[in-house]
Structure 1
Amino acid sequence: MGPSKPTSMMLTKELAAVRLDDWAQACGDALAAGDRLVTLFGRAADDVSRGESGGASWGELIVTAVLQAADSGLYVLRGRSARGAAYPSITARHPSAQAFERELWEQTGLVPEGHPWLKPVRYEGARQQRMGEHPFFTMRGRDVHEVGVGPIHAGVIEPGHFRFMCHGERVAHLEIQLGYQHRGVEAMLLRRPPLALSTTIETVAGDTSIAYAWGYCAAVEALAGVQVRPEAELVRGVALELERIAMHLVALGGMATDIAFLQGGATYGRLRTAIINATQRVCGNRFGRGWLRPGGVRHTLDQARRSDLLATLVAFSKDFAEVNTLMLSSRSVGSRLHGTGTVTAATAAQLGLVGLAARASGLPVDARQDLPGRLYSEHPIETLTEGSGDCWARMCLRMREIDASLCWLQQVLGAAGIDLSGMAQANLGPLYPGTLCVTLREGFRGPVVQALETGADGRLLHYKLQDPSLQNWLGLAMAVRENEISDFPICNKSFDLSYCGNDL
C-alpha cells in the first residue's frame, strides 16, 4: 500500500447514503475506534442524491462526514434526511464534534438531540440580526463577576466577543462568540466557474493564502484528471514552508510583545519581514498570492531565485537562533509562560484539536506526516511535539517548527539535479461529474480542509471550506480556565487563531 494522500476523490453514486440515525451511529462508532473527524457538513439534496436512491426522492438533505483512519487515510460516511429532522448528537459521546454539529444545525436545521451546547457558530441567514440574544453561559455566586471584551477591539484586530466569568482575577470560564463577519464565502464560490476561484480562495484567510490555494488547486486538478509535475509540487511545498515560517514569527513576536520582551518583539518582526519580502521577490506578493494556480505554479524557481532564497535563509537562521536563545533563557519570559494556558493531552484529544495547538499538547497530528502524498513521501519533514501544553510549549514548538522548515527548505533548494524552473502550467478541462473531492493541506495553524462536489453536469454543487481555527477556538477557552484574566492576551496569541477563517 502506498502512502496516504492529502487528496481523496470518490464517485457520489458509490457513497451509500443511510438514514440519519444510522449515520450518526456510524460516525460515533468510528470516533470510538480512534478515527479522527476531519469535517462534517450538509447540503440540499439534488439529482446526485436522488440517483443514489435509485431515482426515489427520499429526502431533502445530504449530510457528509469525512474521517481519517490511522492506517488507511480519508474516508466518507454519508447520510440522508428530511428537513427539520433530529438525530442523536455525536457530541454527547465525542466532544470533538461540537462545532461541526452546531454548524450543521445552523445551516440545515438538523437538530442534534442531546448536544450539550447547541448555539450558532456564525449567526447565518435569518439569525444575523439576533446576535444580541446569544445564550451565554452564566455563573452565580458571591464575588462572581463577568468581563466582556469586544467585539470591537483596538488596532486592526478582527471582531470577536470574549465573555469572561471570573472569581476575583481567576477565570472560571471563557465563552468566545464569533460570527460578526457575514461574508458568505461558500455560497459565493458557487457563483463563478470552478477554475476561476483562485483569487477568492487566496483571501479566505489572508495569512494562510498558500495553504488555501494549494488545497483548491489540488482539488480541481484531481476533478479534471490532471496530475501536475513533481517539480511544481515541490515549488508549492517551498511556498507553504515560507508561509509557515512567516506566520509563526507573527505569533512569536506577539507573545514577546505581550510580555514586554521588546527585543524579541522587534527582532521577530524584522525577521518576518525578511521572509515575506523573499516571497515577494519570487511571486510579486508578500503573502504568496498569485504564486499557485490550477495546473501548476505561475512563478518558478530558477537558479537566481533559489540562490536568493538560500542566502536569505542562511542570514535568517543566525539571527533567529540568537533571539530564540534570549527568549528561552530569560527568567521573566519563563515565569510568564510556564504553566500558563495549559491544555492537557487528554483535553486536546477530546476536543479534537488540530495543528500546532494539538502538537503542543503532545498529540502527533500533522497532515504532512499522516497524509504525505507524493511530495512529503519523497521529501519528508519531521512531526514535532511538546508535552506540557502551555504557552511555553506553544512558543517552543513554533521555534522548532521554523527550524524544521528551514532545514527542509535548505535541503530542497540546495539539492543538485532538481530543476524548478521553466515549468508550464497544465491545461484543465471539464471536471468529472458526480464526484466528491476532499483535500487537506497542513497550514501553519493546522489542516485547511476543502471539499468540492460536482453534479451530473460536472458543475460544482457544493464547496466546503474549513479553517483549523474552527476546531481550536474551544481549546483556547479551555486554556484560559484557572488562569488570571491578565493571562488571556498571552494565551490568545499563543494559539493565534483566525477570526475570518471561522466567520466564512
Structure 2
Amino acid sequence: MTFPLEPIVMVSTLDGPQLELTLWARMCDEALAAGDRMITLFGRVAPHDTVCVTAVLLGAEGPLRVLRAHAPRGASFSSLTPRHPCMQMFERELWEQTGLTPEGHPWLKPVRFEGARQQRMTAYPFFSVRGHDVHEVGVGPIHASVIEPGHFRFMCHGERVQHLEIQLGYQHRGVEALLLQRPPHALTSLVETVVGDSSIAYAWGYCTALEVLSGVQAGARAELVRGVALELERVAMHLSSLTGLTTDAAFLQGGATYGRLRTAVINASMRVCGSRFGRGWLRPGGVRFGITETLRQDLRHTLGLVAKDIAEVNDLVLKARSVRSRLRGVGILSTQAAREIGMVGLAGRASDVGFDTRAALPGRLYQAHPVAALTETTGDCWSRMKLRMREIDASLGWVADVLEQPGLDVPTAQILPQGMLRPNTLCVSLREGFRGPVVQILETGADGHLVHHKVQDPSMLNWFGVALAMRENAISDFPICNKSFDLSYCGNDI
C-alpha cells in the first residue's frame, strides 16, 4: 500500500495475539476511553465450540487496528455499553449471534431475531412509559406506503413523543451465511445487491478486500473510475432523500425537481455500465467499463446541467418559509448524543461529528484527490437536508475535477488468480457510502477458503439516533424525521 491511512487493513490470524476475553474487553475499554472509534465488533463461532471475537478500532491519527480474543461459547464479559453507549448495538449483535453475554448491558434485546429466535418476534421486550395520560401508537411492520417492514412503537403524552422504540429484523435474509456459499471470485454480483441503493460502495469494498487477499492491486486509473462511480451514487441517493424530504414537507416543486435530477444522474451511470445502480461496473482487479472520451463529454454535459438545476431548486427550498418552519428545530440529535451513541455518516456529520472515512482513511485515491468532511451543527432535519445539498455540490465538483484526468478509458478488470486466497488472514475493508462507512471483513482459513464474511451497513449504527431524535417532538413529525435520516431497513436486517 502506498499510504498508511488506507481504508483497509490485513492481519494474520496466526501471528497476532489471541487475547483472553476479559483482557480483550479491558483493552477495548481503554481504547474507547482514549478517544478511539469502534469501527466494528463481531464474533464468529469457531471449531471446538469456541467463539472468536474481533474488534476493529480507529484512533485519531489512524491507522485501523484489530484486537482479537477467543472464548468458550456461553462465556460472559463486563459490558462496555454503560461506559460507552456506542457499543450497545455491537454487543447486542454479538450476544445474538454467538451467545457471549455482555453482563450489565442495559438494553440487551435481539437485533435481527436470528437462529432460534426467528419465530419469537412477538415476544420482543418493548420499553414501557408509565403514566395515566400516556398512550402507545404502533406503526408497521405493514406500512401504508411502499416501504420495507419495520415496527415503530411510540409512547406519547398527548401528541408529544416521550420515547420511540424501533423493532427491525422482519426480513432477516442470512446474507453472511449466503456469501460463504459461492466461490469468492464470483461473489461481486451478489455483494452489490446486499443494499441495493449502495451497490457501488459494497462492490468497491469487496473488490478491494479480494484484491488484497489475492496479492493484486487495481491500477490508479481504475481507482479514479471507481471514485467517479461512488460519487455518482452518492449524488443520486442524496437526491432521492431530498425528493422524499421535500415531498413530506409538502414542497412539491422541490420533490418533483429533485426526483427528475436523480433520474438524470442514474441514467448517466447506466450509459457508462448498463445499470442505473452501477451494478456490474466494478469487478475485482479494476472496472469492467472505463470512461471513454464520448462518455466523458456526456458526463460533463449531464452533470453540468444537473449542477445548474440543483443550485436553483436548493435556493428555492432554503428560502421557502414553509420548509424552514417544518424542518428547523425538528428531530434534533445533539452533538453529545451523536458522539456517545457512535453515529456515522451524514447523520453524524449533521450533528457536528466530523467523521468521513474518505478524509480519515483517504488511501491513494483521496490522498491525491482530497474530500473534506463537511459538517452542520444543529443536528435537526434542516441540518440533515442542508448537508445533503452541500455533499451533492462537493461530489459534483470532485467528479468534474477527476474527469479532467487522462486515461479514464481503462481496460476491463484484470483477472485475479483463481487459486486460494492468502491463508489465515483477516481483511477489513471500508468504503464511505452515501449513508456512511460500509464495512466488510473477510477471513480465510488454513486452506485459503473464506470462513467468515462479515457485513456492516451504517444504518445498523444509526437507527437508535432516529429514536433519540424523535423525543419531545410531535408524532406527526415522524415521517419528516425518519426521511431526514433516510436509513436502510435491509441494511440492518442483513
Per the normalisation by structure 2, the TM-score is 0.98
Letter in 2 for 1:361: S
How far apart are the structure 1 equivalents of 2:97 and 2:370? 39
- Cα distance per residue 1:187-230 (max 9 Å; x no partner): 01111111110111011000000000000000000000001100
Name the residue aligned to 2:408.
420
Once residues 457 and 3 of structure 1 are traced to their aligned partners in structure 2, the CA distance between those partners, rounded to angstroms, is 29
Corresponding residue for residue 39 of structure 1? 40
2:463 and 2:271 map into 1 onto residues whose CA distance is 34
Amino acid at match of 2:122: G
1:414 CA drift (Å): 2.5
Q: Post-superposition shift, 1:373?
A: 0.2
Runs of at least 5 residues in structure 1 that lack an aligned partner in the other structure: 47-56
Alignment of 1:36-75 (within 5 A): 36-46=37-47, 60-75=50-65
Conserved 8 A contact 2:3-2:364: no
Secondary structure of the residue that 1:165 maps to in structure 2?
A: strand
Partner SS state of residue 274, structure 1: helix
Aligned equivalent of 1:77 = 67
> What residue in structure 2 maps to residue 95 of structure 1?
85
Indicate the residue corresponding to 1:235 in structure 2: 225
Does residue 161 of the first structure (1) align with residue 151 of the second (2)? yes
Letter in 1 for 2:148: E
Partner-residue secondary structure (3-state), 2:429: strand
TM-score (norm 1): 0.96
Structure 2: how far apart are the matches of 1:427 and 1:299? 14
Indicate conservation of the 8 Å contact 1:163/1:175, yes or no: yes
Contact 1:360-1:397 within 8 A present in 2 as well:
yes
Cα distance in structure 2, aligned partners of 1:154 and 1:247 = 23
Q: Secondary structure at 1:176's aligned position in 2? A: strand
Q: Is the 2:350–2:379 contact (alpha carbons within 8 Å) kept by the matching residues of 1?
A: yes
Q: 1:458 aligns with which of 442, 445, 448?
A: 448
1:213-262 deviation line (CA, Å, top 9, x unaligned): 00000000000000110000000000000000000011111110101000
Take 2:410 and 2:152, find their aligned partners in 1: how far apart are those partners?
A: 50
Q: What SS class does the counterpart of residue 13 from structure 1 fall into? A: coil
Q: Which amino acid aligns with 1:333?
A: V
Superimposed CA distance per residue, residues 274-326 of structure 1 (whole angstroms, 9 cap, x where no aligned partner): 00000000000000000000011011101001110010011111110000000
2:263 to 254, 259, 273: 273
Q: Deviations over 1:112-168 (max 9, x none)?
A: 000000000000011010000000000110210000000011232000000000000
Query: For 1:26 and 1:446, how far apart are their aligned partners in 2?
Result: 26
Tell me if structure 1 keeps the 8 A contact 2:257–2:313.
yes
Task: Give the alignment partner of residue 394 of structure 2, picking from 388, 394, 404.
Answer: 404
CA contact (8 A) 1:3 1:377 kept: no
3-state SS of paired residue (2:41): strand
Aligned to 2:403, the other structure's residue is in SS state helix
Partners of 2:395 and 2:413 lie apart in 1 by 26
Matches within 5 A, 1:237-252: 237-252=227-242
Per-residue deviation, 1:383: 1.2
Residues 423-434 of structure 1 aligned to structure 2 (within 5 Å): 423-429=411-417, 430-434=420-424
Residues in 1 aligned to 2:488 and 2:111: alpha-carbon distance in whole angstroms: 14
2:94 counterpart of 1:104: yes
Structure 1 Cα separation of the partners of residues 296 and 335 of structure 2: 40
Q: What amino acid is aligned across from residue 153 of structure 1 in structure 2?
A: H
Name the counterpart of 1:192.
Answer: 182
Amino acid at match of 1:252: L
Q: Which residue of 2 aligns with 1:503?
A: 493
Query: Aligned residue for 1:50?
Result: none
Distance (whole Å) between structure 1 residues aligned to residue 421 and residue 297 of structure 2: 38
Measure how far apart 1:438 and its partner are: 0.3
Q: Aligned Cα RMSD in Å? A: 1.0
**Corresponding letter in the other structure for 1:313:** L
The answer to whether the 8 Å contact 1:123/1:131 transfers is yes
Give the equivalent residue in structure 2 for 1:259.
249
State the distance in 1 between where 2:225 and 2:421 align: 25
Residue 325 of structure 1 aligns to a residue in which SS? helix
Question: Offset at 1:3?
Answer: 4.2
Q: CA deviation at 1:424?
A: 3.6
More displaced 10-residue stretch of structure 1: 427-436 or 298-307: 427-436
Partner of 2:169: 179
The alignment status of 1:372 with 2:362, answered yes or no, reads: yes
For 2:254 and 2:142, the matched residues in 1 are separated by 28
C-alpha distance in 1, partners of 2:323/2:135? 30
| Distance in structure 2 (CA, Å) of the matches to 1:287 and 1:154 | 26
- Rounded to whole Å, the distance in 1 between the matches of 2:62 and 2:252 is 47
For the residues of structure 2 that align with 1:12 and 1:80, how far apart are their CA atoms?
Answer: 12
Q: Which amino acid aligns with 1:436?
A: L
Partner of 1:139: 129
What is the match of residue 16 of structure 1?
Answer: 17
Letter in 2 for 1:120: P
Is the contact made by 1:310 and 1:414 (CA closer than 8 Å) also made in structure 2?
Answer: no
- SS in structure 2 of the partner of residue 129 of structure 1: coil
Equivalent position amino acid for 2:415 in 1? N
Partner of residue 51, structure 1: none
- Note the C-alpha offset of 1:387: 0.5
- 1:341 maps to 331
CA distance in 2, matches of 1:334, 1:446: 26
Q: Measure the CA separation in 1 of the matches of 2:198 and 2:341.
A: 23
Do the aligned partners of 1:226 and 1:426 also contact (CA within 8 Å) in 2?
no
Query: Distance in 1 between the 2:481 and 2:353 partners?
Result: 19
* Separation in structure 1 between the aligned mates of residue 42 and residue 16 of structure 2, nearest angstrom: 15
String of CA shifts for 1:44-81, please: whole Å, max 9, x gaps: 224xxxxxxxxxx7x61110001111112110111111
Task: Give the equivalent residue in structure 1 for 2:8.
Answer: 7
The answer for the alignment partner of 1:54 in structure 2 is: none
The number of equivalent residue pairs is 491
Deviations 1:85-134 (A, max 9, x none): 11100112101010110000000011000000000000001101000000
CA–CA separation in structure 2 for the residues paired with 1:208 and 1:102? 25
Does structure 2 conserve the Cα–Cα contact (< 8 Å) formed by 1:91 and 1:97?
A: yes
Distance 1:319 1:287 in 2: 22
Output the CA distance in 1 between the equivalents of 2:302 and 2:160. Answer: 45
Unaligned runs of 5+ in 2: none
Q: Is the 8 A contact 1:37 1:65 kept in 2?
A: yes
Name the aligned partner's letter for residue 425 of structure 1.
A
Which amino acid letter does the alignment assign opposite residue 395 of structure 1? M
